[in-house]
Amino acid sequence: MLETLRRGQRWLTALFVLAVGGVFIFFIGLGGPLRGRRDSSIVQVGPYEYGPDVFERVRERRETQIQESLGEGYDARAMRDTLDQLTVQTLVDRALLSLEAEALGLKVAKQEIERIVRSAGIFRGEDGRFDRQAFERYTEYEFGNQHNFVEEQRQGLLATKLIRLLTSQARVSEAEAREAVRQRLESVQIAVVSLDATTPPADLEVTPDQVQGLLASREAAAKALYEQRLETYDVPEQVRARHILLRIEPGASAEAVEERRKQAEALRARLAAGEDFVKLAGSASEDPGSKESGGDLGFFKRGQMVKPFEDAAFGLQAGELSPVFRSDFGFHVLRVEERKAAQLRTFDDVKAELAKEILRNEAARERAQATADRLAEAVRGGKSLEMAAREAQLTLERSGRLQRRPDGYVPGLGAAQDLLALAFTLPAGASSPRIFEVGGKLALIQVLERGEPAPDEIAAAVETERKQLLDQKRRSLSDTWLAERRAELEADGKLSVSLTPLGREPSS
């Protein structure tokens, strides 16, 4: 397979996309691979091996990028696993690309790296000339030694050589771009009959004999529905509480922490004296998520709150006020409003309800299907959907102008990719007998009008479209190549990932 991939040169696309996306940066600090297996390795791809120091260096840079993107919305704890996965992917993909470039015999001359170093602004002194001491200090601090730095630049230069090859091969013709523009800009207006397949008829009655019959012959269906809803029937103990939070800034001094504690104790004393919790929380709490609702957190079960908060809440009875306690967020005082004991409804407790629900749902489906079948038969017989719907006294909904969408969204229906795709193949006035199931509804369509973009509108968008298509092709090829190459090396036992040296569970 490797030879096939080389002949197709899919690796070029992979390298281009990763280079543009952030791998090909002169000073990202990956460092060189360690040759030979070590117990402390995080990622090993063939002869390339990366340990905790390299992993953490790359992870830190990925985290900085995400922090800058998300701003105040960044949550380090929530992002921990995601950052680990992104870092592993960066290292694995980089190693795969380097291995392939080496296998193809691509070389980097020493002079090429020297030109990069001498032209980099980070290594220039105040006089604008190359500062060797600055270079040595930087490479020692960031990479451990100059060898690792040089290896990084070597891989970066290999990337640029492959990019040049890629740009000479990847092409999108003007005709291809023009057709893509036409499809993107064309529109269609449709009429839809949608039939609710989930709501049973209002006059439907399910008899006890029917319930018993279903449980006798199809009890497994009722049990499957019970398992799907087990969280509804097996409800753990829950508490509803209000709280007031006084935040503590990271790195706050002992004096500042003690001052916040005193403020929290003063608030608790006011509550104990009978002051209104809702009003006090609204004016004093520093929790933006609950302040406007008087500190109300609603019902929660164990495991949903941080441990100090959970312990305090579940240790109180309804109406009781907690002592002041501290969590990672700051100092809290809370009051339990309500408690709900754990509840478990067994299958035997609810099986009759489930059987009745199944029978009613099936009746709703059968009724909708029978109506849809009659409409489809009328269309096959030569009637328009509009005429068939009118004769059946059904509502025909008309859409606005629809354009192609990757998610296939149709107003009033939701995601209906197959339905929308069919609409763009039918001529104006045509009806289809095909029945679509969309979000609990059965739907049939008729095309009312088609709208084609003007030639000058297409011409104005062709070049932009061509560039976008080119990028899409490169991304698709890169994803395919990297996935296939990873699978090959994993199958051969030449690719492994373990976060154990970092004190985390192994990952792959």
**Phi and psi torsions of 415, nearest 5°:** -70, 115
27 has a pLDDT exceeding 70: no
State the sign of the Cα–Cα–Cα–Cα dihedral 19, 23, 25, 30: negative
20 has a pLDDT exceeding 50: no
For residue range 134-161, list pLDDT tens digits in order: 888 888 888 888 888 888 778 777 767 7
Give the pLDDT band of residue 163 (cuts 50, 70, 90).
Answer: low
> Which amino acid is present at 411?
P
13 has a pLDDT exceeding 70: no
3-state secondary structure of 197: coil
For residue range 456-485, list pLDDT tens digits in order: 999 999 999 999 999 888 888 778 878 888
Please, are residues 358 and 222 in contact by the beta-carbon 8 Å criterion?
yes
What is the reported pLDDT for 28?
29
- In percent, the amount of the chain with pLDDT more than 70 equals 90
Please, are residues 461 and 392 in contact by the beta-carbon 8 Å criterion?
no
What is the reported pLDDT for 504?
62
Element (H, E) at 81: helix 80-103
Comparing 12-16, 154-158, 232-236, 305-309, the range with the smallest average pLDDT is: 12-16
87 has a pLDDT exceeding 70: yes
Token pair for residue 74? 């960044």
For residue range 254-270, list pLDDT tens digits in order: 999 999 999 999 999 99
Average pLDDT over residues 207-217: 95
What is the reported pLDDT for 162?
66
Chain centroid to Cα 175, Å, comes to 35
Number of C-beta neighbours around residue 436 at 10 A:
21
Domains of the chain: residue spans and CATH? 2-171+469-502 (1.10.4030), 187-228+347-451 (no CATH), 237-341 (3.10.50.40)
> Which amino acid is present at 121?
G
Please, are residues 379 and 431 in contact by the beta-carbon 8 Å criterion?
yes
52 has a pLDDT exceeding 50: yes
CB < 8 Å & 24+ apart, contacts of 308-311: 308/332, 309/243, 309/334
> Which amino acid is present at 456?
D
What is the reported pLDDT for 37?
42
State the sign of the Cα–Cα–Cα–Cα dihedral 156, 162, 164, 167: negative
Cα–Cα distance, 472 to 29 (Å, whole number): 29
How deeply is 89 buried, as exposed, middle or buried, from its count of CB atoms within 10 A (0-12, 13-18, 19+)?
A: middle
**Phi and psi torsions of 44, nearest 5°:** -130, 125
- Mean residue pLDDT of the chain comes to 86
Considering the entire predicted model, what is its pTM?
Answer: 0.57
Considering only residues 273 and 36, tell me which one the structure prediction assigns the higher pLDDT.
Answer: 273
